[in-house]
Amino acid sequence: MADRFYDLIIVGYGPVGSVAANLAGYYGLDTAVIEETASVYHLPRAAHFDNEIMRLFRRLGLADEIAPAVRPATGIDFVNAAGRRLFRFFERAGLDLRKRARGFWFYQPDLERFLRAGVQRFPHVDVHLATRVETISQSDERAEITARDLSTDRVSAFRGRYLIACDGAHSLTRDSIGATLEDYAFDQFWLVVDIFLKHTVKLPEITQQICDPSRPAIYVRSAGQHRRWEFMLMPDETAKEMERPQRVWELLSPWITPEDAEVVRAVVYSFHSLAARRWRDRRIFIAGDAAHQMPPFLGQGMCSGIRDVANLAWKLQLVVKGLARDSILDTYQTERRPHVLKVMEKSIELGRIIQTVDPEIARRRDEAYLGPPGTAGRQRPPDFSMPPLGEGLAFAPLAEDERRIVGNLLPQALVRVPGGGTVLLNELLADGFTIIARSGVRSALGQNAAAFWQKLGVRWLILEPSGTRPKAQADVIVAEDVEDLLASWLTPNRAIAIRPDEYVFGAANGPEEFALMTDALKCFVA
């Protein structure tokens, strides 16, 4: 109801706003969601999310519902004009793809329907569709919007402690707080064509980025019968010309014919690289496309937006419940913006590889990866790994190997629990903080620091090396690291603190460092 005072107002109900609403419901925040459209947008836009996002869906209890509608990504090939593979990324052998694939392809309208259905689980989250935001304001105590119900023309006021704007690239909220965009000078027009197959057609089983200097292109092996092609516009081509059905089918003709498929969308987009300079103004935050836009070559646009709200939601929950100071919310921008910029740099780097249109430069590029005729030498492909968070809510220890751990996402290890069953490590984490260590570490860390963590509801997880077959204990979770994926992280006396978003808060060796790590968190926690 409009006269209710909410913990949180969410503006925008696309995929990022829908995840924000699920997180708000999960954390028990009274929330109002305001969305101008009346239903899920009927055409696909985003097409990929990575394993970190699937982990979040699993934590929110949505993974089983979403799984039938997604397709695990077995890799993305960068191929030259002759179809030879220059390099591949996303592939990792020997994994349960449905749970630990590096990425997943999906059809966006289906995904959004699942996400919105998830929000209906929470009676404390009010969703207002066909409702357009007209004004945005704030004071020291609250954020406020007025919004018009487009079906009744009634204007209502919505008030809350905080507001997250997931209202897209043309964000009214971003403009209202004066957050200007910084342009990273990567702009290129591409034709995006989405089709549905009418019957089985022999097409590549893996997504391809086609590095052809005569026409750079992308083929996306999406979920179900959905496929996507993207074609770069050359300097003398216009959007109007490229969107003509006849021209679209000319471009698709090497792969399919009108008898094989139906075109559901053919639109020219400008791929941008932009980031807002400011992501917070007192009680208002911007997220997703409102805060940043990047080219699609790494498939991280929507993922980055979902990371935004995942970073922010658990901190808001602590503040609303009186467990943390408002200053913890300043770490949202300091952590997320540097991360986004590094991901954007990686995406731009890939874009420059694929968008080469000079035949001689393309020849040298191909030789660099394939080796010249008669040789086996190859250039290493770019680094596709996700960067750590920027500085913020973390404890940076002195040891170099520990600094590399802090701010990174916890690896998704396969672990065995007492009784012999195997689960994924993140399934054992708490909704709050989790401390992971070898056996015997907890008792050596000191009672005062341990008491502080217990007040936060910390979960202790004893993770033993492979082959140890640990036994159940009364007050901790015990598991065996089947693959020893965390062997280099967990030295015999080290404790690693994991945040609610599954990023590493800190690592400490012994009671003195553990006390320092505790003090670092006390700077933010009430």
Parallel/antiparallel/unpaired status of strands 143-149 and 131-138 = antiparallel
Residue 74 has a pLDDT of 82
CB of 435 within 8 A of CB of 449?
no
Helices (H), 38-107: 51-59, 63-66, 97-100
pLDDT of residue 90: 64
Distance CA 459, CA 435 (A): 6
**How far from chain centre, in Å, is Cα 170?**
20
Q: Which residues of the chain have pLDDT under 50?
A: 1, 93-95, 97
**Which pLDDT belongs to residue 512?**
87
Q: Which CATH class is domain 400-522?
A: alpha beta
pLDDT computed for residue 469 by the predictor: 82
Residue 374, pLDDT score:
56
Q: How do the domains of the chain map onto residue ranges?
A: 400-522
The Cα 86–Cα 227 span in angstroms is 22
Which pLDDT belongs to residue 94?
A: 43
Tens digits of residue pLDDT in 284-341: 999 999 999 999 999 999 999 999 999 999 999 999 999 999 999 999 999 999 999 9
Of 156, 119, 120, 151, the residue nearest 135 (C-alpha): 156
Measured CA to CA in angstroms, residue 19 lies from 86, 205, 283, 412 at distances of 36, 29, 20, 21
pLDDT tens track for 364-390: 999 999 876 655 557 788 888 899 999
- Which residue is it, tokens 């901190």? 315
User: Which pLDDT belongs to residue 14?
Assistant: 96
Please state the φ and ψ torsions of residue 286, each to the nearest 5 degrees: -115, 150
385's tokens: 């790994």
Q: What is the reported pLDDT for 400?
A: 61
Phi, psi of 38 (to 5 degrees): -90, -15
Q: How far apart are CA 390 and CA 386, in angstroms?
A: 12
- Which pLDDT does position 93 carry in this prediction? 42
Q: Quote the radius of gyration of the chain (alpha carbons, Å).
A: 24
In sequence order, the 6+-apart residues with CB closer than 8 A to the CB of 6 are 29, 30, 31, 32, 126, 158, 159, 160, 161
